[in-house]
Structure 1
């Protein structure tokens, strides 16, 4: 019965987070730690590995629709990959409550920033690349330290830098695909993945990731698509508040 529930949970999470430009690491982490009561180390490792296939499938779907901004996405990856490695190595020495507080505050600030009118049209490209690097580093640390997907800072950063909602979601999925590979390798090396729980979640999420790009394409044609960005801002603020608990 638990396997069926995990498959269904993975499907729903896959559809939701890939539609929102995330990887679902925070949701998987909460589910594994709070519902199935596995250790934090095992939950972190399992969450990042579980999210990997669905992120790749989702980003491929967005690539086929030509919605990925590779200039900003690659800049984020260049900055984020070293941060993932540093975060994974530093994780055992960082008090969890301090990490959660700092990341929570950052996410809340980024979520609020989404609601501020964008003036990106007058921002030089060089400055946008520097800002993309900053958001990439924050995201990389989230992946390396806690096994989260790091989607919050990436998505918020892309929206703040002026991408429309569809492009931001697509580019975020692309960035997270690269980060998840590095994060998964780092966490797999520790041998803490719970495959009995992770595999059903992974399968369900992969199916959901096939659906998400199609769903976003239809939503983008809606007259109310602008509301999706506001919803994302609220969700990022909520993620920040939840992270600090």
Structure 2
């Protein structure tokens, strides 16, 4: 039994490392990945999986965001607008979660992710100026991400990242600003779920440690990508992954 625990710990550390690198490089917190892993592989309850995924992703988004801040890539104007609208949505989502049928939530979330992913691919290349319209759009994406955090325990990175790309930020700035927004969302979401005593610390801590190390690597990796000719390709990959996540959520 003890040997099985040690093996699981090593696996969780490694998975956390890889997921931390990938999701912070793509502007997410990894909540959806952790949620799926904990619920499907380790068979813990959905409520415990939601709480553990949020707590697990928190250190990595903080570390990743700090790395992007040092590189001066965060757009605080749009990011703060998203946070202002997203934080109340987290609270509302958490209160509504027990009353929303799972099938309805899955379809709504899946369709939103698919539409946002397709919108990134077909959007016009010209940038949007920072007008009132831009800030209103940022608020809308903030509300969507806040509801994802509050209702399902996901990080909410999908709508945030999609919104930032659609609003005209380049790939590096969108990833950096998304990580910044997710810090605020993850803190609120984690506090609300921790208060319920549903966090599985035995599974969450190894994932958390691995993801924190991965988050240290991710901003450096994105800096190298931004200077290369592959930045546009990364944006397309982000959009395709969002569509795949949306389809997988509906299934």
Bin the TM-score by the shorter chain. over 0.9
Cα distance, 1:120 vs. partner? Answer: 5.4
Q: What residue in structure 1 maps to residue 56 of structure 2?
A: 50
Q: Check the 8 A contact 1:48/1:183 in 2, yes or no.
A: yes
Secondary structure of 1:163 counterpart: coil
User: What does 1:1-245 correspond to in 2, within 5 Å?
Assistant: 1-118=7-124, 121=127, 125-245=131-251
Runs of 4+ in 1 over 6 A off after TM superposition: none
Q: Distance in 2 between matches of 1:166 and 1:131?
A: 20
Unaligned runs of 5+ in 1: none
Q: Write out per-residue CA displacement over residues 171-202 of structure 1, whole angstroms, 9 at most, x where no aligned residue.
A: 00000001000000110111000000000000
Q: 1:226 to 1:6 in 2, by over 3 A?
A: same
How many residues are treated as equivalent by the alignment?
245
CA RMSD of aligned residues (A): 1.0
Relative to the length of structure 2, the TM-score reads: 0.96
Q: Distance in 1 between matches of 2:230 and 2:64?
A: 23
Relative to the length of structure 1, the TM-score reads: 0.98
Q: Check the 8 A contact 2:14/2:210 in 1, yes or no.
A: yes
Q: Larger deviation: 114-123 or 78-87?
A: 114-123
Q: Check the 8 A contact 1:120/1:161 in 2, yes or no.
A: no
